Chain A
Amino acid sequence: MIKVEGLTKSFGRQAVLRELTLEVATGTITIVIGRSGGGKSVFLKHLVGLMQPDAGRILVDGVDISRMRGRALDEIRRTYGVVFQGGALFDSMTCYDNVAFPLREKLRTPPEELTKRVEAALGQVGLEGVGAKYPAEISGGMRKRVAIARALVTEPEIVFFDEPTTGLDPVLVNTIHHLILNLHRRFRFTAVVVSHEIPEIFEIADTVAMLHEGQIVEVGPPAAIQSSTNPVVQRFIKGEPDNTL
């Protein structure tokens, strides 16, 4: 279980996270929604240890990682898989080597097993035969799928997705969402997905949390969020224009 308590982060005078509190149950898909620039990616960076909060705690299976550094944090990260917004594939490596990289470097997988696992991972995301291509030679949707394969190839316990469908067409958005759902059913990892794809995310989420002005203002199952009476949630779901702009 991931438990976030009172997470606070400011950049200069701008408060991005304000005593944010959230619980993510083991083996579930939790989707954090919210407007662009609302602190979703900053929140995710705290969860994966790329940022340290000004205050608050992040408990992963009871261990507070918010002040951790070095090897202790790396031990926690070994159970993680992360899909970055732009994929973050290594430009200088082929897709095969990108997926093989964590196996080769992190787990020291023997070569014969490595090949099988990389090919299986690429197969799971429907990308058999693209291993020899470089990230620059494939489409945006394919890059996202290679990134998902790389995140899942080590069979992590917790997978973080930072806006995995940004910039994709509606067909690809649904394809990626269903891919996440199918892989989740198969591997039973805990997933934290940051997204603003409404209403598609309601089909795959176990829990939806609405992040607004640095705080979780509503959290619950998709049906509860959709029927929420909170005007902030309703405005976001319906995509109502912001009259303050």
Chain B
Amino acid sequence: MPEPPLAPALRPFEAVGGWTIGIVESLGRFGAFFAEALAALVTPPFKVRAFLDRINFIGYRSLLIIFLTGAFTGMVLGLQIYLTLVRFGSEAFLGPAVALSLIRELGPVLAALMVTGRAGSALTAELGIMRITEQIDAFTVMALSPMRYLVAPSILAGLITFPLMTALFDVVGIFGGYLVGVKLFGLSAGTYFGEMQTFVDLGDIMVGFWKSLSFGVIVTWVCTYKGFNVGHGAEGVARATTQAVVMSSVLILMWDYFMGSVLQ
């Protein structure tokens, strides 16, 4: 039996209530999706071929963009930090300043943002197209779990490739800073790398490592979820892809602040 119409004065409350319930439901679905993916990740049969394919898709194919952005980020850091430090006669600290900025902060964040733009969006679009062309339903009706074949391998690949790509970003970035500081401004290579060894310790590297690991989970989780729950048609795929990139990027920056506060 249809419900009687609500008094006009109560309608705003109904709207707020409906909106809140919608948000809570979405968060619940988002969490349940991750729990289901984790269950598929830790229980056999393991889909090694699908996992290797995802390593290639998320990691290997992102190498060029990581290399380019890492190099130029390091060069920009080298340039700006040198020009600042030289005012105080402290240019000897260029190496540790570049390295700490990259290892603790910029490496994990920028590498994650770059991979989100390149691989995360493609992951959402690919799964979205599979959803609207009923390819995901085809897995289900074959009594095969699409989570096991499509989502769990992506999340595991994210866990492994994000720290590796962050490490590459850091190394290339430090070399970019070296090119500017040593080759362009004439700082000695010994000073650049020697001071780095003094000021950068394992704790700094672990901060970057934990950040990149968590970003790998966030990006693959958000992007596969959005692809799985795409709307109708090409417009639905386009919207899901945009949402996946925006949501992943915002979550990366928010989580980065949280991790930065916790892992001091």
Interface set of A (CB-CB < 8 Å, partner B) = 48-50, 74-75, 77-78, 80, 82, 84-86, 88-91, 101-102, 105-106
- Among residues 217 to 258 in chain B, which have CB atoms less than 8 Å away from a CB atom of chain A? none
Complex CA gap A159/B227 in Å reads 28
Q: Could you tell me if A49 and B144 are in contact, using CB atoms closer than 8 angstroms? A: no
Residues of B contacting A91 with CB < 8 Å?
129-130, 133, 135
Chain A residues with CB under 8 A of B144: 102, 105-106
Residue pair A106, B134 in contact (C-beta under 8 Å): no
CA distance A89 to B138 in the complex (A): 8
The one of A74, A75, A88 in contact with B137, judged by C-beta atoms closer than 8 angstroms, is: A88
- Complex CA–CA separation, A50 to B130 (angstroms): 15
* Given A82-B142, A102-B142, 8 additional A-B pairs, CB 8 A: A49-B140, A50-B140, A80-B141, A84-B134, A85-B134, A86-B133, A88-B135, A106-B144
Bound-state CA distance A49–B140 (Å) is 9
A102 to B149, CA, bound (A): 13
State in angstroms the CA–CA spacing of A48 and B129 once bound together: 21
Give the distance in Å from the alpha carbon of A106 to the alpha carbon of B143 in the complex.
7
Which 4 interchain pairs have the tightest Cβ spacing? A74-B143, A88-B134, A77-B143, A88-B138
**Contact of A50 with B141 in the complex, beta carbons under 8 Å:** yes
B143 touches A90 (CB 8 A): no
Q: Which of B130, B133, B134, B142 contacts A105 (CB 8 A)?
A: B142
* A-B interface contact total, Cβ < 8 Å: 44
The answer to whether A77 touches B141, judged by C-beta atoms less than 8 angstroms apart, is yes
Q: What are some 5 contacts across the A-B interface (CB < 8 A)?
A: A77-B140, A78-B143, A82-B141, A85-B134, A88-B135
Name A98's closest neighbour in chain B (CB-CB).
B138
Closest-by-CB residue of B relative to A45 is B137
Q: Is the CB of B141 within 8 A of A106?
A: no
Q: Which residues of B contact A77 (CB under 8 A)?
A: 140-143
Docked Cα-Cα span, A130 to B161, in Å, equals 36
Q: Which residues of A contact B140 (CB under 8 A)?
A: 49-50, 77
> CA A78 – CA B140 in complex, angstroms?
10
Assess whether B142 is in contact with A84, with CB atoms less than 8 Å apart: no
Decide: B143 and A88 in contact? CB cutoff 8 A. no
Contact status B135-A90, CB under 8 Å: yes
Q: What chain B residues lie within 8 Å of A105 (beta carbons)?
A: 142, 144
Q: How far apart are the CA atoms of A89 and B144 in the complex, in Å? A: 15
**Residue from B130, B138, B144 with most neighbouring chain A CB atoms (10 Å):** B138
Question: Please, which residue of chain A has its CB at the minimum distance from the CB of B136?
Answer: A88
**A102 and B142 alpha carbons, distance in the complex (Å):** 7
**Cβ of A166 to closest chain B Cβ, rounded Å:** 13
Q: Which residue of A lies closest to B149 (CB)?
A: A105
- Least CB distance from B246 to A in Å reads 26
Q: Contacts A85-B134, A90-B135; is A49 near B141 (CB within 8 Å)?
A: yes
Least CB distance, A14 to chain B, in whole angstroms: 14
CA distance A227 to B137 in the complex (A): 38
Contacting residues, chain B, for A48 (C-beta < 8 A): 141
- Cβ of B133: which chain A residues have Cβ within 8 Å of it? 86, 88, 91
